[in-house]
Amino acid sequence: MASIAEAATAVEVDRLPEVVATLRAAEQPDGHEGARAAAIAGLLAHPAIAVEVVPVLPGRPNVVARVRGRDRGPGVLLDGHCNSGYHPGPWSGDPRRPWVADGRLHGGAVSDMLGGLAAMILGLRAVADHGPPPGDVVLLAGMHADTNGLGTKVALASRDDWPAFGICGDPTDLDVVTHHGGAVKFEIELTGRAAHISRREEGIDALAAAAEVARALPGTAFAQADPAAWPSLAGLPCLVVGELQAGTSPALVADRAVLRGDVRTLPGMTTAGVLEDLDARAASAIGPGVGHAARLLVEQPPFLDVGSGPLVAAILAASAAHGARRPEVGAPLPARRYCTEAADMARAGIASVVYGPGDWRWAPDESVALADLATAARVYATVAATLGLEEA
């Protein structure tokens, strides 16, 4: 039989569209991940793969699949997520039924990250077919990866037998991301006084105040931010106000408005400090009589490199072996503004990177090149099969 290093290159890449379609079809109306977790477990049915479907919340499990290593190699954790939101459209095809056109696979969430998850599934199966690898290879398909990566957080906290190295498969256009910023999602509530249009002068307009705050917030000077200390994270911190909800009637001065937004943060910025700066900026933008309060919605710390050198070298070598372009290494845009579970993996002591197929955009007709999906699957398998081989 071929050596594991050779056999790991023989991933069934022709199955990638089929696997993505299977994952896409396993969709629940409530957005919960139970059906998709069951589909992943079915796709990973293999004598050499131990699969666990582990509840996190009712109907919302993680999937943990493991190929045992033959020695005490460092092992590799492949981390992906099961949830799969996508732009509402209009699409040129049905986003629920992925289709191939011009060498690309189109469909809802194919880049973030059903395509990457499919590549990991087939990569793990290739390792299982020709194993055992030097160390354990684990696929963690987590539930609810929206900013704070709850599924991965729960999984990492629940056991300590994880591999030493980790690859988060979020879309990086096959670049190797070794660090990125964090996130603080927030809301600011503005309160005024309602009044009918016939008595407009008696009202205090929270909606008008909210509009002023929305214009002012992008200019917030974050006291804790030190861009000079992080030249590779240029463009951080950055802020977007994405929601404004206000009022109850066209004829009433709004007595309440809520802004929601997102700050992508630099290392050293605390959530408390961010909220304090946002609240101060809001105070400077509103008129008399309007109340304001900034609150946290969700947070994720920055991802900092904790010793991924051997893993980066293995990915570069695998990319070259499969004829792919040499990945950029570091924190390229837009990935430096991502939030990924690599932050949680690094905090758990797992030397991690972000590496996945797709140049992700929140847009109709989202797509990934089939060649990139194939490269990702082969690289995942090759790295998992060879990392630590010399030491084992």
Task: Tell me the pLDDT tens digit for each residue of 117-127.
Answer: 999 999 999 99
Q: Judge if the upstream peptide bond of residue 237 is cis by omega within 30 degrees of 0.
A: yes
* Residue 147 pLDDT > 90: no
Same CATH fold assignment for domains 4-179+303-386 and 182-300: no
In the chain, what are the domain boundaries? 4-179+303-386, 182-300
Q: Are 389 and 7 spatial neighbours (Cβ–Cβ below 8 Å)?
A: no
Q: What is the reported pTM?
A: 0.93
- CA distances (Å), origin 315, targets 35, 70, 381: 32, 22, 10
Tell me which architecture the domain covering 4-179+303-386 has in CATH: 3-Layer(aba) Sandwich (3.40)
Domain 182-300 sits in CATH at 3.30.70.360
Sequence-separated (6 or more) residues with CB below 8 Å from residue 159: none
| Percent of the chain predicted with pLDDT > 70 | 97
Torsion of CA 200, 206, 210, 213, to 10 degrees: 100
In tens, the pLDDT along 280-333 reads 999 999 988 999 999 999 999 999 999 999 999 999 999 999 999 999 999 998
